[in-house]
Homo-oligomer: A and B are copies of this chain.
Amino acid sequence: MIHELPYVLRPENICHLESDSLYIGDRRVFPFEKRFERCETVEQVASALRQMVTQGGGPLQVALTMLRFVARLMEQGKLPFSFQEMERSANLLIEARPTNTTMKRTLQQLLFQLQIVFAQKTSLVEEVEKLVGAVEQHYDQIYHTMGMMGASLLEDGDTVLTTCFAEHTFLLSLAYAKKEGKHISVLVSETRPYLQGAHLTAPSLKEMGIDAKIITDGMGAHYLFEKRVNMYMTASDVVCMDGTVVNKTGTLANAIACNYFHVPYYAFCISPDTTKDGLKDLKMEERDGGEVKKCMGHPTTSEDIEALYPSFDIVPSSLVQGIVTPKGVLAPQHIKRSFS
């Protein structure tokens, strides 16, 4: 476990098991409330994921904890003791978040290993704990490594612009930079329509003792113009083999403005998607525009007006200075040779 993490990223606050229930930290109401969604069945967990109770890296952690939960329910006789039942549970979660390929890949790898466990009829809870614990340690190690690399990019006095909630890798970069005595400030784009910047990133940075100021999504260019930004850093939903970065809507506008003002943009990526060569393999999804017509549930315009909600931005590799990966801070053009 990494000790520098703020409230929302601490494992027990992402989710935890307690007697007969799995509790998921509700990121939708943070920082106004610190509440947990209580789930007694796998179906309820899947439903909570669909309803965005947690997001980003949250669903992966929930999925891992759910395997422990299912093993426990099986040993208690509350679920049929079979690999098929375990597989069914995992698939319910995979289907609840079809675009979360990290969760899918991790669950499929674990299912492969669990097939052997079921065949051997050893203690299920113990074996699941071993397997899941190893996966958790693996990610902790990656977060730590990437945090150290991110910190090495930062200089004392830097101001970093960010969009959305870049979670462990970005926040650890700032935590480790702070430990090294570097004073870093962060400009946090509020990230409409869900406001992850205002709800998750800014309060987490504040909690970590890092100077954070919220701006609206149109203001990044203004502070670049004023030479008050040294770097732009975000997470990534997908990184293609040609270095194309896919991330939250709003990322492209800031990346273009950074390019215009000669300020470098770095994206964090745990594992580039080896199945995607580039733009041609990306599907441009559109979400329900109704979300853009609301702010925290309150309508921002008349009901009969239309709105659009593109699910993500595609950032061409020419706008990306570097991609922070477990294998190093790579030029986008070097992703393919390091990961394929």
Residues of A within 8 A of B (CB): 31-32, 163, 187, 189-193, 195, 198-199, 202-203, 206, 212-223, 225-226, 249-254, 256-257, 259-260, 284, 289, 292-293, 295-296, 298-302, 304-308, 310, 313-314
Contact = CB atoms under 8 A, between A and B. Distances in A.
15 contacts: A31-B302, A32-B302, A195-B301, A198-B293, A198-B305, A206-B302, A206-B304, A213-B307, A213-B308, A214-B308, A216-B217, A222-B313, A252-B257, A295-B300, A296-B300
Contact of A218 (B163, B260, B306, B307): B163
B292 A220 contact: no
A1 to B, nearest CB: 25
A295 B293 contact: no
Contacts of A212: 305-306
A14 to B, nearest CB: 20
A72 to B, nearest CB: 36
A300 B190 contact: yes
Contact of A221 (B203, B226, B252): B252
Query: This chain: how many copies in the complex?
Result: 2
A295 B296 contact: yes
B306 A214 contact: yes
A141 to B, nearest CB: 31
Nearest to A194: B216
Given A206-B304, A214-B305, A296-B298, 17 more contacts: A31-B302, A195-B300, A203-B301, A214-B300, A217-B218, A217-B250, A218-B251, A219-B253, A221-B252, A221-B256, A221-B313, A222-B252, A225-B252, A225-B313, A225-B314, A252-B257, A253-B254
A31 B221 CA distance: 30
A257 B249 contact: no
A192 B206 contact: no
A300 B218 contact: no
A262 to B, nearest CB: 12
B301 A218 contact: no
A199 B284 CA distance: 28
B305 A206 contact: yes
A199 B305 CA distance: 10
Contact of A292 (B214, B250, B251): B214
Contacts of A284: 226
Q: Which 4 A-B pairs have the closest CB atoms?
A: A218-B250, A217-B218, A221-B253, A192-B216
A190 B300 CA distance: 9
Q: Taking each of A222, A252, A289, A301, which has the highest tally of chain B beta carbons within 10 Å of its own beta carbon?
A: A301
